[in-house]
A and B are shown apart, each in its own frame.
Chain A
Amino acid sequence: MKRRKALVWMATAMGTSLVATDLLLLSCTPAKEQIPSLFEPYRSLLNRIGHAILPAAKQHPGFLAIGETDVLINILSNCLNSEVQKQILQGLEDLQVKTNSPSDNQLDSIKDEDFLNVLKPIDQKCYGDLPEEEKEDVQYFRFLKDAILLVYFTNEKIMTETFTYVKVPGKYKGDMEVIEDEYETRFGFG
């Protein structure tokens, strides 16, 4: 967390913004060549997690609708160090156990509400007040959430249609008033 904040202020100081989040730090010792299929067996489970975190809402089509699971799998397979990959794989296996769905294609029968009931305690523990060492078994969820947010919010449709993406702003204003209820407009990466 501290390292991420340090990166953010350094990036801000240099007049740039981070495209990625904590994951940028995890790529420092990437795993040796990984085949993309490492996370392929969990495609449906990843979709369900993405859908649980980012469902369709007011102006949002939601994670499932953008159809970017391939990108998520590529990121998990190619951009993370092997230690984090192991944590995530272990976490996904634990989720299979908790949802009584030992294989990916058995997930379809699980209702959204039941799936959420499995994820919510994990989410609460992950970001709760427990000492870090007592949260190691759920750290994978933070990485997954990070990757899912990245994939979703940098999707072309989301950037250009849900949000206002201005590739060439042409001007800067440091005191523009926020319009009530509007989505953010700065969109840090050009």
Chain B
Amino acid sequence: MLERGGDYRHIRDYDDRSVFEYPHRGLPTISSGGMRSDITGWMFNETVMESWVDETKEGKYTESKPFRWVRAYRLGGRSTMWGRQSYRLCEMDFEANAKENVGVDWPVRYKDIAPWYDHVERFSGISGSKEELDILPDGEFQPPFELNIAEKKAAEQLRKAFADRRLIIGRVANLTTPLTGRVNCQFRNRCWHGCQFGAYFSTQSSTLPAAAATGNLSVAVNALVTRILYNKDTQRATGVEVLDTSTNKTYEYKSKIVFICASALNSAWILMNSATDIWPDGLGSSSGELGHNIMDHHYNIGAYGEFPGFEIYKEYGRRPTGFYIPRFANVGKDQRNYLRGFGYQGGASRQSWNRGANMAGMGKSFIEEISREGSWTIGMGAFGEVLPDHRNKISLHPTERDAWGLPVLNMDAEIRENELAMRKDMLEEAKAMLEYMGAKNIGGNDGGHEMGHGIHEMGSARMGRDPKTSVLNGYNQVWDAPNVFVTDGAFMTSSSCVNPSLTYMAFTARATHYAVDQLNKQNL
């Protein structure tokens, strides 16, 4: 396993400080990591800032259109900071491109991947409730986390108002039942810092220990894969070239097969940087689709309100998930003036002391008031599907170079007409549902979306049925070099509206199983 970033060990390297131990109490500062100044939000604060790429050290990408590329270069990548929401794509997702003549058809159907969803759910530990919804298939779940009393009421009200809509607890890769070497969630709300209990799925807590237990794992860190080595006679990759970023020396690793899982954009970068006289635009470029069809989930839009009626109740513990409302737009008889749909993630909770910054008052009565539980509030944000579009692309910049003298990516992608039309519904439906639930003083906002901000980048080396229109086949193999597999978000043929990581895991497991089988048959 080759990792371009540094080492990051389970438990040993996790930050266990409480907020009062941080010099700025969690606020990011100019010197807290060099993160891009326009990327802000709840996940970018002093306590986790060092987890993200420092662009002042690594180099910056270029943008033909605004793009937010959120990277984590260290062992395990973003797997310790991910949102952990875990949902299956459904049959409709796999069929939509073909039915609607969008992009290309997925080369697989739900039945092909369902057993692999089962497999990775059991291994990683996904908690959730079984709902028997076609739009959100059930899986091999651990027992679900609990909706709080306000959310239970919201779910009940929603069901009364809309027969086809559900508010369920989020399906999340946090354990409610221990697995080997891992303890169930302790409700600390510290997932972003790594979990000493191994209570959520990450590379560190789960896959690396399992791989190490085979006795066949070697890990090299600071190993930046610069290109794939290719033998034009055998039409196979022979290995990879690696730049050791700690010594600036270059090495070659030889291998029968190569799995690229560098996150969607960097995997495409590796392929594009592997140009030869046969493939001048990079390995896997014969279709002209490498680096195109960039997708994300468009979000940063939703609604909120006060939710009275539960004043005698509060929560105890810090739950690692909120609620989920599965897609209903363009499902069944529901028809909209755009394609595809969106889901909502949200939660209800009581306001805390920080409400004091938005209210008048000073003195003893003020400090006493804000020390007590505040009003219940409820809110939800939408995640919408982005259509694959050839015009949304990344490419190697002809002149700009990163800290290692390597070409940087240029981003040229945006949400378009279909997504913009969808966003109107994403906002209005949220407000309407909150009203039906019983919320008061409802507000909503559309903060706009720049590609990448969803941190669900996908599609840069899509799979398909035809090598003329896709980069990968249905087993994640590069058409032009079948012993090269790409198994991160790059392979996604469409984006669905659900969080994609579980699907990456399922396809990765399927592809590795296939690769071993093919190796044993000497087909690779």
Q: Do A and B come from one complex?
A: yes
List which B263-322 residues lie within 8 A (CB) of chain A: 300, 302, 304, 311-322
Task: Check: B163 CB closer than 8 A to any chain A CB.
Answer: no
Closest chain B CB from A39 CB (angstroms): 14
Q: List 22 A-B contacts (CB under 8 A).
A: A5-B443, A5-B445, A9-B346, A27-B29, A28-B37, A30-B30, A53-B363, A57-B368, A71-B24, A124-B360, A149-B357, A156-B18, A165-B18, A169-B187, A169-B188, A171-B187, A172-B146, A172-B316, A172-B318, A184-B350, A186-B315, A186-B349
**A113 to B47 CA separation, bound complex (whole angstroms):** 39
| Residues of A contacting B353 in the complex (Cβ-Cβ under 8 angstroms) | 149, 153, 184
Q: Is the CB of B368 within 8 A of A58?
A: yes
**A2 to B301 CA separation, bound complex (whole angstroms):** 11
Task: Check: A188 CB closer than 8 A to any chain B CB.
Answer: yes
Known contacts A14-B83, A190-B188; decide if A54 and B367 are in contact (CB<8 Å): yes
Q: Is the CB of A146 within 8 A of B322?
A: no
| Residues of A contacting B314 in the complex (Cβ-Cβ under 8 angstroms) | 176-178, 184-186
Q: Is the CB of B322 within 8 A of A12?
A: yes
- Which residues of A are interface residues toward B (Cβ below 8 A)? 1-25, 27-34, 52-60, 62, 71, 74-75, 78-79, 116, 119-120, 123-124, 126-128, 142, 145-146, 149-151, 153-156, 159, 162-163, 165, 167-178, 181-190
Task: Check: B186 CB closer than 8 A to any chain A CB.
Answer: yes
| Residues of B contacting A4 in the complex (Cβ-Cβ under 8 angstroms) | 358
| Residues of A contacting B40 in the complex (Cβ-Cβ under 8 angstroms) | 24-25, 27-28
Q: Is the CB of A13 within 8 A of B322?
A: yes
Known contacts A78-B31, A123-B362; decide if A188 and B189 are in contact (CB<8 Å): yes
Q: Is the CB of B30 within 8 A of A32?
A: yes
Task: Check: B41 CB closer than 8 A to any chain A CB.
Answer: yes
| Nearest-neighbor residue (CB-CB) of B23 within chain A | A74
**A3 to B41 CA separation, bound complex (whole angstroms):** 10
Q: Is the CB of B24 within 8 A of A74?
A: yes
- Which residues of B are interface residues toward A (Cβ below 8 A)? 18-21, 23-31, 37-38, 40-42, 45, 47, 83-85, 145-152, 170, 172, 174, 186-192, 300, 302, 304, 311-323, 345-350, 352-354, 356-364, 366-368, 370-374, 377, 379-381, 443, 445, 447
Which of A19, A57, A127, A175 touches B364 (beta carbons < 8 Å)?
A: A57
Known contacts A3-B445, A172-B315; decide if A13 and B367 are in contact (CB<8 Å): no
Closest chain A CB from B283 CB (angstroms): 36
**A156 to B19 CA separation, bound complex (whole angstroms):** 8
Closest chain A CB from B423 CB (angstroms): 14
Which of B20, B192, B352 touches A16 (beta carbons < 8 Å)?
A: B192
Known contacts A6-B445, A55-B364, A172-B317; decide if A22 and B170 are in contact (CB<8 Å): no
| Residues of B contacting A33 in the complex (Cβ-Cβ under 8 angstroms) | 30-31
**A74 to B23 CA separation, bound complex (whole angstroms):** 8
| Residues of B contacting A2 in the complex (Cβ-Cβ under 8 angstroms) | 443, 445
Known contacts A2-B445, A78-B31; decide if A184 and B373 are in contact (CB<8 Å): yes
**A47 to B11 CA separation, bound complex (whole angstroms):** 40
**A160 to B47 CA separation, bound complex (whole angstroms):** 19
Q: Is the CB of A174 within 8 A of B360?
A: no
Most central of B20, B347, B359, B447 by chain A CB within 10 Å: B20
| Residues of B contacting A163 in the complex (Cβ-Cβ under 8 angstroms) | 371
Known contacts A52-B362, A52-B363; decide if A11 and B24 are in contact (CB<8 Å): no
| Residues of A contacting B318 in the complex (Cβ-Cβ under 8 angstroms) | 15-17, 169, 172, 186, 188, 190
Q: Is the CB of A9 within 8 A of B347?
A: yes
| Nearest-neighbor residue (CB-CB) of A16 within chain B | B189
**A175 to B150 CA separation, bound complex (whole angstroms):** 8
Closest chain A CB from B162 CB (angstroms): 20
**A173 to B318 CA separation, bound complex (whole angstroms):** 9
- List the 3 shortest-distance A-B pairs measured between CB atoms, nearest first: A9-B379, A174-B148, A12-B347
Known contacts A20-B27, A124-B360, A190-B189; decide if A3 and B447 are in contact (CB<8 Å): yes
**A188 to B26 CA separation, bound complex (whole angstroms):** 13
Q: Is the CB of A186 within 8 A of B443?
A: no
| Residues of A contacting B315 in the complex (Cβ-Cβ under 8 angstroms) | 172-174, 176, 186
Known contacts A13-B380, A18-B354, A189-B19; decide if A171 and B37 are in contact (CB<8 Å): no
Closest chain B CB from A13 CB (angstroms): 4
Q: Is the CB of A27 within 8 A of B361?
A: no
Q: Is the CB of A170 within 8 A of B186?
A: yes
With A28-B40, A53-B366, A170-B187 already in contact, 16 other A-B pairs whose C-beta atoms are closer than 8 Å:
A9-B304, A10-B302, A12-B322, A13-B170, A13-B322, A14-B345, A16-B192, A52-B363, A123-B361, A173-B317, A174-B313, A178-B313, A178-B314, A184-B372, A185-B314, A188-B318
